[in-house]
Structure formats: C-alpha cells, structure tokens
Amino acid sequence: MELDDVRAFVRVADTGSVSEAARDLHVTQSAITRRLQRLEISLGATLLNRGTRPVQVTAVGQSTLPRCRRLLNEAREVRAAAANNDFSMGEIRIGVAHALTEITLTHPVDLMRRKFPNVGLRLGTGWSRDLLEGVRSGVLDSAVILLPEGEPLPPEVSGAKLGKERLVIVGSRGKNPARARKVQDLAGKQWILNPEGCAARAALRRALLRENIDMIVGVEAYNYELQLALVAQNRGFSLVPERILARSRVRSHLRTLQVAGLSFPLIVWIVHGQSSAGFDRVLAELRRALAESL
C-alpha cells in the first residue's frame, strides 16, 4: 500500500471529485484513478462509488477513511522527527464559524505563512456544530467555533478557550419602535436572523418555546450588517454579537434590549482532533494569534 494511493483516496473523499483531488495533488485525473484502483486492489475492497456526482464513499470506505488519515498523519510525524522535530511541510484544514469570520483572519494567516512557509492553510466556514463534527471525524484538523458556556467538548476532541462572545437582542431607535422588557413581550414579534444551523438562533428558539412563544422569522441573512440595517428600519429584532453591533455603520439607529430572563453567553474555542497530529506548533501559533485578534 503506497502513501500516494492513500493520499489520493483521502483527497477524493474530502472533495467528492477526482478532478479536484487531481488539482490539489498536482497530478492528472488518470493518475488519481490509477492510485484509487491500486489501493482498492491492495485492500480487496471498493472504497468509492465513482459513478456518482459527487463521488460517494462506500460503507467500507467510511470505516477505512479515519485509519487512512491517521496513517498520513503518522507519516508526517516521521518526517518531522527526521527533521529534528522542525515540522515544515504539509496542509492543515481549518474551519471557522460563520459568526467569527467577522474577526479579521488576515494577521493570523499572514503570521502562519511567515513562520511555516511550507504549511498550506485550507480555510473554510460553517456552523459551529458542523465544524465540530468535522474535527471529530477527521475531515478538519482544527476549527474555531462558538459553544454555549458550560457545554463540554466531545471526548474525541481537544481544545482551548479563546474568549467569550456576548449576544445581544437589537431593536430600532426609530419612531414607534417595538419594545420588550420581558420574554412575553416578544410574542408575535418578527425576527431577522441567521439561517437554520446557527447555534444562537437555536438557543433563542428554545428560550422562546419555554414560554410557549413561537419564533417568527421574517428575514434570514448570513450578513450581520444587512440584518442590522433591516432592524434599523424597524423590520424586527435581531440577535447579534455585541462586538459586531459596536462597529456597525448603523449603530446610532439601533438599541439593545434588556429582556429579563434571556441571556446567551458563548465561548470561543479553538478545537482539534486526532487528525491534527504533527501540527502542534502550528496550532499553538494560530491559537495565540487568534487570541490577540479577539
């Protein structure tokens, strides 16, 4: 079993595409196909269904994939040990929660590229729960996520707290703005929120349901500045990070609502799993840089 064959399988499984895997590994599509065939022959099993779009990993492939990731990581550690523990090559896959993309990543990324010039950074965004599962399953090496205060990490995942995130309910300062001082005052009110999958939205829904209040979503939008602009027009309430409200261009047209009984404290985590073996120095530097940004 050749490492190049294993690497081809992992990349096709991650991208769902032979062509994308070929581009990432800087080889031809036919070379990827040959490597996959050679690996399947050596294992005596079909790992991928290449007749579908995107390519689907078979049940056997799903059970094999985590072991293949570990094999590649162990090979990377061997190379690092042979170079006097000076890890200097490879690719690290990092996910960032949608809500945290507002934090500038320019400084951390530039710093990482200077200190580890041969380490490729593959950045992606997603919801915190999906990113956490990606780390747990080995699809991601690391992720920067938000979790409710007090919620523990899964057993397979390690991490460090980077800071706290405070969410605030925001309303308009315009004429005849909707007001709310207690949870019951939110009954029948429109909300302008992130799409489904957002942990903050889910927490808000749970809080309202405890009071038998249905959450009415008038507008869904990924962009916080768009949400706040609509709130400023008195289209409804929103739930946003306090740091984003503080620098919004429509801040003067908005007000925070202190609703008794509603609180949404979140913790910013950087997490990593078994697939990040060999990247300890890289992740430590990333953690320090992100803490500075926060």
Walk me through the domains of the chain, giving residue ranges and CATH numbers: 1-83 (1.10.10.10), 164-266 (3.40.190.10)
pTM for this entry: 0.67
Q: What pLDDT does 169 receive?
A: 93
| Residue partners of 62: CB distance under 8 A and separation at least 6 | none
Buried b (16+ CB within 10 A) or exposed e, 258-286: ebeebebebbbbbbbbbbbbbbebbbebb
| Alpha-helix residue ranges (DSSP H) falling in 144-279 | 199-209, 224-232, 242-246
Decide if 261 contacts 75 (C-beta within 8 A).
Answer: no
CB atoms within 10 A of CB 25: 16
Q: What is the mean pLDDT of the chain?
A: 84
Q: What pLDDT does 77 receive?
A: 63
Q: What pLDDT does 250 receive?
A: 95
Decide if 144 contacts 268 (C-beta within 8 A).
Answer: yes
Q: What pLDDT does 278 receive?
A: 62
Decide if 99 contacts 149 (C-beta within 8 A).
Answer: no
Mean pLDDT of 48-52: 84
Question: What DSSP state is assigned to residue 177?
Answer: -
Tokens of 26: 């800087």
Element (H, E) at 265: strand 265-272
Mean pLDDT of 78-85: 59
**pLDDT 10s digits, 4-29:** 899 899 989 888 889 988 988 888 99
**pLDDT 10s digits, 104-159:** 567 777 777 788 877 777 888 888 888 998 888 778 888 999 888 888 888 888 89
Mean pLDDT of 76-91: 59
Q: What pLDDT does 269 receive?
A: 92
CA distances from 192 to 38, 44, 291 (A): 52, 53, 29
Tokens of 47: 């790992």
**In 3D, which of 4, 42, 53, 40 has the Cα closest to residue 24?**
4
